Amino acid sequence: MTKGFLIFAQNNPDIDYCKLAVYCAKRIKLYMDLPVSIVTDSPEWLKESQPDADTIFDKIIVFYSNTTQTKKFNDGSMFSKKLEWKNLSRVDAYELTPYDQTIVLDSDYIVSSDFLEKLFNSNNDIMMFRNSYDLAQWRDTTSFEYVSKSIPFYWATVLYFTKSKEAKLLFMLVKLIRDNWQYYRSLYKIDSAMYRNDYAFSLAIHIINGNVDFNYFGTIPGTKFYTLDKDLLIEVKDSTLKFLVEKEKYHGEYIGTQTTSVDVHVMNKYSIARIIA
């Protein structure tokens, strides 16, 4: 059984996802020493800007998707920009992965432990995080608990799957939801007009579960730590990450905090790029 990580990196004019993917891959190698492949629509840029890409990545998979959305990207609580967001090809991971056991990771996921390596020993065919922990702690996290009133929220940030009938079925269903997003969002009364992988996977899991809160697929044990793009990553020193998180009721002010030896989903891509530079 082959096992490895798969990272999607589809650049927009402002954010270099290839750079983030290389950083993410280096940390995976450091903590788990497992193969990492990249799926990108900018192979020339990847090789030009990251000369060591060929040695870092097990495979560079070129995949073009002409469908994009627009999303507001924040850099702390005082700056934001509307940019292209190419998040629609995540559902192709099942066909694209070169591994029997795969963990699909967001490029803004900062690995600081070997926690994910243990997933490869699991009996489950599909696993995603359901529990999460916002480092700011005061924000309303209801939208990360339920997609709509009764549909549990699953994070597509870290997605473990094996080449299996169950996983194939899930990915087929997610593809169907993606291609008919407006229909499914009105059927399940989801407010967001924007397609999100988290929503599509959560809906698919809910449908497979027979539209009840049951757990046919496994959840990743433990918690996914995250910071929103309104927070700032200010330093990475080995497995310690230091942050300034948005302060409650004081727009533009922050509180210092840190994590040690846990992986963190850092949604502020600008701040990761600054750390890498």
Partner 1 sequence: MDERLEKALQTSNFLASLNLIRKTTFEEFKQNLVFYHSGCSFLADLSFLTQIQTLKQSEFTAIVLDINNIPCYIDDLESFYQNCLSTYKLAVEEYHNKYQNIKKQRNIRNLIDL
Write out the two tokens for 76: 């702390």
Distance in Å, CB of 137 to partner 1, minimum: 6
Please tell me the total number of residues recorded for the chain in this structure: 277
Of 89 and 124, nearer to partner 1 (C-beta) is 124
121 lies in the binding site for partner 1 (CB under 8 A): yes
Quick one: which of 88, 254, 76, 73 has its CA closest to 180?
A: 88
Q: Which stretch binds partner 1 (CB under 8 A): 14-22, 55-63, 179-187, 259-267?
A: 259-267
Please select the residue that binds partner 1; options are 48, 54, 213, 235, rule is CB under 8 A: 235
Range 2-21, binding partner 1 (CB under 8 A): none
**Where in 83-112 is the site for partner 1 (CB under 8 A)?**
none
Question: From CA 237, how far away is CA 48, in angstroms rounded?
Answer: 27
CA distance 242 to 75: 16
Among positions 183-222, residues that touch partner 1 (CB under 8 A) are 215, 218-219, 221-222
CB of 126 to partner 1, least distance (A): 11
Q: Whole-number minimum distance, CB 235 to partner 1, in Å? A: 8
152 in contact with partner 1 (CB under 8 A): no
Report the interface residues with partner 1, using CB under 8 A.
115, 118, 121-124, 133, 135-137, 215, 218-219, 221-223, 225, 235, 240, 242, 245, 247, 255-262
